[in-house]
Amino acid sequence: MDDAGFERRPWGRTPDGTEVELIRLFCGAMRLDVSTYGATVVSLRVPDSNGKPGEVVLGYDSLQGYLDDPCCFGCVVGRVANRISNARFVLNGTEYAVDRNHGQHHLHGGARGFHRRVWRAEVSQTGQGPRVELTRRSPDGEQGFPGTVHARVVYALTGNSLRMTLGADAEDDTVVNMTNHAYFNLEGPGRTCLEHELWVDSDRFLDVNEELIPTGGLFAVTGTPFDFSEPKSLGAQIDSGHPLMQAGSGYDHFYVLDDSARWPQYAVRVRAPESGRVMEMRTTCPGFQLYSGNHIPKGLFGRGGEVYGPRLGFCLEAQGYPDAPNRPEFPSVALAAGEGVTHETEYRFVSVGGAGDSNDHMKNR
């Protein structure tokens, strides 16, 4: 493709002196910046309905922002994303204690999980567009997890989409549940995410306690603020009195997808009314965490001097079930020695009035 390619350059060093790179992929009107620190999506520029490219993810201008980041902006989290209750689980009869970094619980791989590590990068050009593959070896015992794991992340631009492939191969028995933690705002800088209109192809979500730990139960979305079977704004019912909404201070809940074996499962559609941008998410994962950015610190300085705060961005974190290592009734995230796992998630961007811009095709799925 003549209008596609990549660039890479040094982007500073971590406190221990490890060099970090910033890699830029461009394909048509789309542009993606990825840091080898945390395998992080630093920037994603996508055209609006008038064809003008603009930023659609939250982030920082420099590596220092990510070294200090309290929100996991754009990074890959693992070895196990989301929550592990009481920061403990049993595998093959042995109990493992992992990093307790979220009250009494474990969150997103621990304080020095995958998002706080430097990855190796290989960049290439394919017939469909540019791609970057990031890899790292996670040793036995890292953040308390058993077994050595070889993790990989591929970001690829293909015209109007960003495709993420996350995978791992296990040398020993372990658990793996990785995801990307990008915060989207399709309106661009300075707007909350609450006016974004969502449609979600899921009729169930996980019940959780007051600490957002799954109870093992499932809730039907019908008749609740969690029902996006008909498109509605993210903010329409976010301040309702529903106890599960209050537990998360907004949306911070796992939606179950019914047909994760089919690629691509069309799971979510988001429309930004002002910019006209439309984003569709497809994934092979069994579900995703919808997070409405409730705990972004007020007054957090982001890219270009922009000041961030609560609900300035939302996440669609495609992944396995949270707390799966402690819930045998959930789909397993365990890997045996010699086994591997791979999941793909695609974020496809379409223009208003263009392909994919009809609600009818969603209602009939």
User: Is residue 30 exposed (0-12), middle (13-18) or buried (19+ Cβ within 10 Å)?
Assistant: buried
181 is in an annotated binding site: yes
Q: Is position 181 annotated as part of the catalytic site?
A: yes
Sheet order of strands, 277-283 included: 120-125, 130-138, 149-157, 161-170, 340-351, 277-283, 265-271, 197-200, 232-233
Which residues lie across from 46 on neighbouring strands?
54
Residue the block writes with tokens 């945390």: 38
183 is in an annotated binding site: yes
Catalytic residue among 105, 106, 181, 253: 181
252 is in an annotated binding site: yes
Q: Is position 280 annotated as part of the catalytic site?
A: no
Cβ atoms of 139 and 145 within 8 Å: the answer is no
Cβ atoms of 121 and 133 within 8 Å: the answer is yes
Cα(209)–Cα(285) distance, integer angstroms: 23
Cα(99)–Cα(117) distance, integer angstroms: 15
Which of 204, 199, 154, 206 has its CA nearest to residue 178?
154
Which of 316, 251, 255, 314 has its CA nearest to residue 287?
255
Cβ atoms of 195 and 235 within 8 Å: the answer is yes
Q: What are phi and psi of 150, to 5 degrees?
A: -105, 105
* 3-state class percentages of the chain: helix first, strand second, coil last, to nearest 5: 10, 45, 45
At 19, which amino acid appears? Answer: E
Cβ atoms of 278 and 323 within 8 Å: the answer is no
Rg (C-alpha) for the chain, rounded Å, is 19
150 is in an annotated binding site: no
Catalytic residue among 280, 317, 344, 346: 317
Q: Of all helices (H) and strands (E), which one includes residue 360?
A: helix 360-363
Cβ atoms of 310 and 296 within 8 Å: the answer is yes
Query: Among all residues, which ones are annotated catalytic?
Result: 181, 317
Q: Residues comprising the binding site?
A: 82-83, 181-183, 252
Q: Residues comprising the binding site for beta-D-galactose?
A: 82-83, 181-183, 252
